Structures are given as structure tokens and as C-alpha cells.
Amino acid sequence: MKEIDILLVEDNEGDIVLTLEALKLGKLKNNVIIARDGQMAIDILAKQAPYQDAITPDLILLDINLPKVDGIEVLIHIKESKVLKR
């Protein structure tokens, strides 16, 4: 089974730990990349330095209340991207 690449966009450490534990319990193999604010998520998705080699995730778990750039703005960026829009 193919490993699923997941981008977890979350600034709360407790929620990160809880999400990672829940993913471990699942039957799917996964690779999780964590972005701790909205700008970092946008940079990862756009492959901006220093994330030029970042994967394009199969799944994005996106918090709405984030520092720097909120989750709504990240979602707008995703929807406007020809590469990310599906």
C-alpha cells in the first residue's frame, strides 16, 4: 500500500500530538509534515525556500486559527493554485 503524504497545519502542540497519535492507530501508512503557521504551510505548498524539496501532500489537515496567516487564507491560496487545485 502506498504511503500517504499528509500536511498537518497546526500551531497547538497538544493538537499535534493528538493528531499524530490518531494517525498511528490508523491502518494507512503515512508521512506527516507539520507546518506550525499559515505562512509556513503556504511556503511548503509553493515549494518556496527552504522547502523546495517538499512533497505535494495527498491530504491537508488545516487548522483555521493560525498565526501569521490564518487557515482561510491558506485555503484560498490552495484553491487559486493550478498545481494544488483538484
CA distances from 85 to 1, 14, 59, 79 (A): 25, 30, 12, 5
Q: Per-residue pLDDT for 83 more than 90? A: no
- 61 domain-assigned: yes
- Residues of the chain with pLDDT > 70, as a percent, come to 97
- 85 domain-assigned: no
Q: Which domain holds residue 28?
A: 4-80
Q: Rounded CA gap, 32 and 7, in Å?
A: 6
- 46 domain-assigned: yes
Computed over every residue of the chain, the mean pLDDT equals 93
pLDDT in the model for residue 86: 64
pLDDT band at 20 (very low <50, low <70, confident <90, very high): very high
- 86 domain-assigned: no
- 66 domain-assigned: yes
- 45 domain-assigned: yes
Within 10 Å of residue 9's Cβ, how many Cβ atoms?
26
* Nearest alpha-carbon partner for 12 in 85, 61, 79, 78: 61
Q: What CATH number should be reported for the domain holding residue 74?
A: 3.40.50.2300
Number of domains comprising the chain: 1
pLDDT in the model for residue 4: 95
